[in-house]
Amino acid sequence: MNVGFRVDMPLLPDAVPFNQTLLNTFGVRNDHTYDGVKVFQPRFGFNYRAGGDTRAVVRGGIGLFYGRAPRVWISNSYSNTGSNFRTFTAGTTPGGQAPRVSANPDTQVSTASVPPAQTVAFLDPDFELPSRYKAYIAFERGIDLWNIKIVAEFEKTWVNQDVFYQNINLAPTRTGPDGRQLYWNAFAANSSGTRLVSTAFTNRLIKLGNTDQGGTNTMSLSFEKPRSRSGWSWKAAYVHNKADEVLFGTSSVAASNWNNRAVFNTNVAEKHRSELEIRNKVLVNVAKDFELAKGYRTSVGLLYELRTGYPFSFVFTGDTNGDSQTQNDLAYIPRRGGDPLVRFATPADRDRFFAIVDQFGLTEGRAVEAGSNNYPTVSQFDLSIKQDVKLPFWRHKLVLGMDVLNLGNLLNEKWGLIRGSNQFFIKREGIAAAAYDGVANQYVYSNVSTTLPTGSFNPSLGRGEPAATRWSMLLSARYEF
């Protein structure tokens, strides 16, 4: 048995410049950091050989682990203080005259633009460093048949504290017909504008706080045959995983972490399937060692992976709730045959929309959940070849290698495809545009996707298709002595 603990304590000697206007307006300071905050992490582990049998082992443990250190995230407090830069907004006049904007903020023509607004990112005064509990248990057993080792494992993690971003300058103005918060400034047949708490600040007043929601459950079973005298070895494994989170945190910028989410209520910590959850995975690895020439070992390995596609969310393509952010509002699925919450711009839009509902089996009368659908299953092969080359020194050799990742895509461009990748790992599909009619209290659906009704996903720049699935080759040389 092992019993112990670990203590982490980050040090941030530099102070964040204080913003008095933020304190006066919102009653919160912007200069808080996690300097000197401690995370005490007790841990326990054990390893037991059942009945003295060296081939039967039970091992496990439980403990608290500090993780997702928010070092780059705290930098936003230093770079967005509200006093180190100002934002001016200006547009063309009704006659088309370009606005008068000066490059010098101190000589800005006030009549030519909206008064300067501050952008502030800050840490919640009660912020706690991210950590999560982890518990696991595993059973290993060697059997006589082919000298196979069987390993069964279960691991559970649950969040103690994780990060969550909020935009505190958004002012809710109404509750939408489906229950989501709306932030429209002016309600009309086509509502417009975003209501802010204070126009002295931009629509990017971001607070980094905490959530205690989220966790994972992972089960795995593997069979492994070590290399035999004939040079053959193999391993087969199955992994089942269920992961939930509130925010993945895919960017170094506070505003990007806030807006790169698929949400129902943008400032509420909503737990959902993890952005990178792989629900089921099968791995098979086969390897063979042999000598093409006496004394020169050659190793060839083939790895096959079959896994569930990444989760994705159906969202509206425009700004539906008035928070000035597009392509992040989870879609409401109306009831067929007439739903008082929704009307369609055209009959063709209605028909395409319900074709999507049928194609993906979406539940009517409610908004979709984030990550509730999956991209197609992924199937890939990787090839590895290693060749030993003896050198004229005692026990010195050169190992030449060639690794081909996604071999199937090399053989056929339609094989080994991965859907749903982009630079922020956010996976979402725009189902339709949804304007809010503030007079009728209805959403108006238009421009419904023309590809989704057939189950097709339209690759676009930045989503990683086909870049994420493109085959690649790595040539290497390693000197061993």
Query: What average pLDDT does this structure show over 203-228?
Result: 95
Q: What mean pLDDT is predicted for residues 172-200? A: 95
Pairing of strands 192-194, 184-186: antiparallel
Interval 107-151: pLDDT, tens: 766 554 466 789 999 999 999 999 999 999 999 999 888 889 999
* Arithmetic mean of pLDDT, 289-299: 90
C-alpha–C-alpha distance, residues 367 and 178, integer Å: 8
Q: Are 281 and 308 in contact (CB under 8 A)?
A: yes
- Tell me which of 201-205, 395-399, 454-458 is least confident: 454-458
Residue 240 bridge partners (DSSP): 219, 280
Local confidence band at 467 (pLDDT 50, 70, 90 cut-offs): low
pLDDT over threshold 80, residue 468: no
Distance (Å, rounded) from C-alpha 148 to C-alpha 142? 6
Taking Cα atoms as reference points, which of 472, 473, 471 lies closest to residue 416? 471
- In contact, 359 and 454? CB cutoff 8 Å: yes
pLDDT for 108 equals: 63
Q: Which residues contact 96 (CB under 8 A, 6 or more apart)?
A: none
- The pLDDT score that the predictor gives to residue 462 is 41
Q: Is pLDDT at 93 greater than 70 in this prediction?
A: no
Q: State the average pLDDT over residues 24-40.
A: 94
Question: Please, what sign has the CA dihedral across residues 341, 345, 349, 351?
Answer: positive
* pLDDT value of position 395: 81
Contacts for 226-233: CB closer than 8 Å, 24+ residues apart: 226/147, 226/149, 227/287, 227/289, 228/147, 231/288, 231/289, 231/290, 232/286, 232/287, 232/288, 233/286, 233/287, 233/288, 233/289
Q: Which of 305, 310, 311, 307 is nearest to 408 (CA)?
A: 305
User: Between 103 and 246, where is the model more confident?
Assistant: 246
Higher pLDDT, 151 or 249: 151
Q: How far apart are CA 168 and CA 330, in angstroms?
A: 21
Q: What is the per-residue pLDDT for 1?
A: 92
What is the average pLDDT across 225-231? 91
Q: Which pLDDT score is estimated for 143? A: 87
- Spatial separation of the C-alpha atoms in residues 129 and 120, rounded to whole Å: 21
Measured in whole angstroms, the distance separating CA 337 from the mean position of its chain's CA atoms is 36
Q: What is the mean predicted confidence (pLDDT) over 351-357?
A: 97
CA dist., res. 438 & res. 193, Å (int): 12
Whether 258 and 166 have beta carbons less than 8 Å apart is answered as yes
Using the CB atoms, write b or e for 72-81: b if 16+ within 10 Å: ebbebbbebb
Q: What is the DSSP letter of 81?
A: B
Model confidence at 102: pLDDT above 90? no
**Cβ neighbours around 217 below 10 Å, total:** 14
Average pLDDT for residues 87-99, to the nearest whole number?
A: 63
Using DSSP, state whether 384 is helix, strand or coil.
strand
At 372-414, the pLDDT tens digits run: 999 889 999 999 999 999 888 778 899 999 999 999 999 998 8
The owner of tokens 């964040």 is 16
Percentage of the residues of the chain whose pLDDT score is greater than 70: 90
Strand partners, 429: 314
Residue 187 CB contacts under 8 Å (≥ 6 apart), including other chains? 173, 174, 436, 438, 439
pLDDT bracket for residue 34 (50, 70, 90): very high
pLDDT at 478 > cutoff 60: yes
Scanning the structure block, which residue is given the tokens 């709306």?
Answer: 182
**3-state SS string over 108-177?**
CCHHHCEEEEEEEEEECCCCCCCEEEEEEEEEEEECCHHHCEEEEEEEEEEEEEEEEEEECCECCCEECC
Comparison of pLDDT for 424 and 374, the residue scoring more: 374
Above 60 in pLDDT, residue 423? no
Q: Please say if the pLDDT value at position 195 is more than 90.
A: yes
Give the range among 27-36, 168-177, 454-463 with minimum mean pLDDT.
454-463
Mean pLDDT score across all residues of the chain = 90
- Taking the model in full, what pTM does it have? 0.87
